[in-house]
C-alpha cells in the first residue's frame, strides 16, 4: 500500500541519511525541501523530492491514498527518548503540596513521590495498567510522537517491576509506535528496606535482572543517580550488573544535585544521560567526544521549577543535545513534544532548527532508533506528521500551546 503526500510546503527531512545525530554548530542546520512530495510504501519511506519530479509512474498502480499538503509542513515524527508513561495513578495532591511550599525532595522523604506511585502500582491490575498506558500512547501519537522509550521503576518489587515491563512488551506488540523498554528498578529504595539499601540493590541485581534478561523484557537499564537517591558507587554496581545481561545504560543524572551522575554515565558508555539541571564545566568536559547523548527534559524543569540546564553552553561547547518529555505523574505530566520544543526555544535559547534536531534525530539516537526514525530517509519507517496550514516549521515552537498537527501517519498508516 502506498501513500503519497503532495505539494508539501516544507518537507523537513531534518538530516541527510546516515547522520546519527547532530552536535554543536550542526544543530543549527536543518535539511528542508520546499514544494515537495513524499511517498511511503508498506510502512516504509520509499522516496521524496521536489514536486516537479513526481511523475505518473510514481503515481501509478498501487497508490491508495494521495494527500494534498498545500500550505502544510511535513515532519518526521518526534522521538521521545525518556518517559515513565506506564503508571497507575496521577499525583495531584503532591502538585498542591508543592504549590504550598514543599519541595520535590521533601515530598519524597515523606514517602510521597516515586514511593507513592509504587503503592498505587502494587494495587493496579495488569489490564488496567495496559489500558491507561495505551490511552497515553494514543494521546502522544496524536501530538506527533512516533517513537517512545518507556521505563519501569514504579514497581520497586520483583513482581511489580515485571508487571510494568510486561505491559510495555504488550504495548510494543499492539501499538504502531516504535517502543523501547528500560528497566529502572533503581528509581528509589522502598521504605521497608530502611537503611539496608544494599539489600534492595542486591534484589535488583540478583533477583530482578536475571528474570528480566531471561524473558527479554528490557532494552536498557537506568539508575536515578542523584542526591537523596542512588550514589555513584551504587549506580555503578547496578549498571555493571545490567551490562552483564546485555543492557546498555541510560542514566537519570544531575536533576537534584551535582553528585557525579553524568560522569558515571560517561564511564559506562551510557546511551544517554538525562535531566542535567545541575551541571557545570566538569560535566560538559566529561561529555565531549563521547557516544552518550546529553538529554534535557524541559517538562520536569518547568513543572518542578528546577533550574534550566545550560543548553546554550552545552551546544556552544560542541555537544549534541536531545530533548524528551519525561512524561510521568510526578515531575512532568505531559508528553507533548511540541511543547518541549517550544520550551527549548523559550527557556533554553535554542533556535527552531536546534529544537527540531533535538526532538527528532538526536532523541532517536538517545533511544537507539536513529537507524529507523528521526529523519525523512528512504528506508526509514513511515512515521511522519502533517501540520495544519502554517507559514513554516518555526510555527511549531512559536505557538507553544496550540496543537498544529492535523494528520498523523505511523507505520505508513493514517491514525
Binding to ligand NIG by residue 328, rule CB under 6 A?
Answer: yes
Closest by CA to 376, choosing from 124, 32, 87, 3, is 32
Nearer to ligand NIG, 241 or 300 (CB): 300
61 annotated as ligand-binding: no
Determine the Cα–Cα distance for residues 388 and 407; give it in Å rounded to an integer.
Answer: 8
**Beta carbon of residue 275, minimum distance to Fe ion (angstroms, whole number):** 7
Helix (H, G, I), strand (E, B) or coil at 252: strand
138 annotated as ligand-binding: no
Binding to ligand NIG by residue 224, rule CB under 6 A?
Answer: yes
187 annotated as ligand-binding: yes
Binding to Fe ion by residue 226, rule CB under 5 A?
Answer: no
Whether residue 339 contacts residue 400, with contact meaning beta carbons closer than 8 Å, is answered with yes
Nearer to ligand NIG, 255 or 370 (CB): 255
381: part of which helix (H) or strand (E)? none
DSSP string, 102-160: --HHHHHHTT-THHHHHHHHHHS-HHHHHHHHHHHHHHHHHTTEEEEEEE--S--SHHH
Helix, strand, coil abundance in the chain, percent, nearest 5: 40, 25, 35
362 annotated as ligand-binding: no
Helix (H, G, I), strand (E, B) or coil at 98: helix
* Binder of Fe ion out of 149, 161, 326, 370 (CB under 5 A): 326
Number of residues lying near ligand NIG (CB under 6 A)? 13
Nearer to ligand NIG, 224 or 385 (CB): 224
Which of these ranges, 7-15, 286-294, 323-331, 404-412, lies near ligand NIG under the rule CB under 6 A? Answer: 323-331
Binding to ligand NIG by residue 331, rule CB under 6 A?
Answer: yes
Grid cell, residue 231, equals 550514589
Closest by CA to 380, choosing from 30, 22, 14, is 14
Cell 558508555 maps to which residue?
A: 269
Whether residue 320 contacts residue 24, with contact meaning beta carbons closer than 8 Å, is answered with yes
**Beta carbon of residue 50, minimum distance to ligand NIG (angstroms, whole number):** 43
Binding to Fe ion by residue 277, rule CB under 5 A?
Answer: no
* Residue 271 interaction partner, one of ligand NIG, Fe ion, none, beta carbon < 5-8 Å per kind: none
**Beta carbon of residue 23, minimum distance to Fe ion (angstroms, whole number):** 23
* Interface residue list for ligand NIG (CB under 6 A): 84, 113-114, 117, 224, 252, 255, 300, 326, 328-331
Amino acid at each position: 500500500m502506498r501513500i503519497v503526500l503532495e505539494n508539501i510546503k516544507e518537507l523537513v527531512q531534518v538530516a541527510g541519511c546516515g547522520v546519527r545525530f547532530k552536535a554543536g554548530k550542526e544543530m543549527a542546520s536543518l535539511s528542508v525541501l520546499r514544494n515537495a512530495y513524499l511517498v511511503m510504501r508498506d510502512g516504509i519511506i520509499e522516496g521524496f523530492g521536489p514536486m516537479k519530479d513526481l511523475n505518473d509512474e510514481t503515481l501509478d498502480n498501487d497508490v491508495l491514498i494521495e494527500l494534498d499538503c498545500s500550505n502544510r509542513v511535513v515532519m518526521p515524527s518526534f522521538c521521545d527518548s525518556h518517559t515513565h508513561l506506564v503508571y497507575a495513578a496521577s499525583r495531584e495532591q503532591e502538585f498542591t503540596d508543592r504549590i504550598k511550599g514543599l519541595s520535590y525532595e521533601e515530598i519524597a522523604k515523606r514517602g510521597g513521590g516515586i514511593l507513592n506511585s509504587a503503592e498505587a502500582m502494587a494495587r493496579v491490575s495488569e489490564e488496567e495498567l495496559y489500558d491507561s498506558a495505551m490511552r497515553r500512547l494514543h494521546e502522544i501519537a496524536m501530538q506527533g510522537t512516533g517513537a517512545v522509550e518507556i521505563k519501569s521503576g514504579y514497581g520497586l518489587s520483583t513482581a511489580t517491576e515485571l508487571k510494568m515491563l510486561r505491559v510495555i512488551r504488550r504495548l510494543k506488540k499492539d501499538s504502531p509506535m516504535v517502543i523501547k523498554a528500560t528497566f529502572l528498578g533503581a528509581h528509589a529504595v522502598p521504605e521497608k528496606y530502611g537503611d539496608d539499601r544494599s539489600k534492595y540493590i542486591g534484589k535488583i541485581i540478583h533477583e530482578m535482572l536475571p528474570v528480566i534478561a531471561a524473558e527479554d523484557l528490557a532494552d536498557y537499564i537506568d539508575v536515578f543517580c542523584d542526591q537523596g537517591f542512588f550514589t555513584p558507587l551504587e549506580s555503578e554496581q547496578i549498571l555493571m550488573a545490567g551490562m552483564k545481561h546485555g543492557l546498555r545504560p541510560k542514566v537519570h543524572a544531575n536533576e537534584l544535585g551535582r553528585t557525579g551522575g553524568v560522569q558515571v554515565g560517561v564511564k559506562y558508555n551510557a546511551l544517554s544521560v538525562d535531566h542535567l539541571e545541575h551541571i557545570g564545566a566538569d560535566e560538559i568536559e566529561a561529555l565531549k567526544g563521547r557516544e552518550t547523548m546529553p538529554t534535557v527534559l524541559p517538562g520536569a524543569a518547568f513543572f518542578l521549577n528546577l533550574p534550566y540546564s545550560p543548553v546554550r553552553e552545552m551546544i556552544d561547547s560542541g555537544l549534541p543535545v536531545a530533548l524528551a518529555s519525561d512524561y510521568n505523574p510526578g515531575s512532568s505530566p505531559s508528553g507533548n513534544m511540541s511543547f518541549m520544543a517550544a520550551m527549548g526555544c523559550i527557556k533554553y535559547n535554542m533556535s527552531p532548527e536546534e529544537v527540531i534536531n533535538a526532538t527528532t534525530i538526536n532523541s532517536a539516537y538517545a533511544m537507539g532508533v536513529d537507524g529507523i526514525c528521526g529523519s525523512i530517509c528512504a528506508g526509514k519507517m513511515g512515521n511522519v506528521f502533517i501540520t495544519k496550514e502554517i507559514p513554516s516549521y518555526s510555527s511549531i515552537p512559536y505557538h507553544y500551546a496550540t496543537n498544529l498537527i492535523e494528520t498523523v501517519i505511523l507505520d505508513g498508516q493514517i491514525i
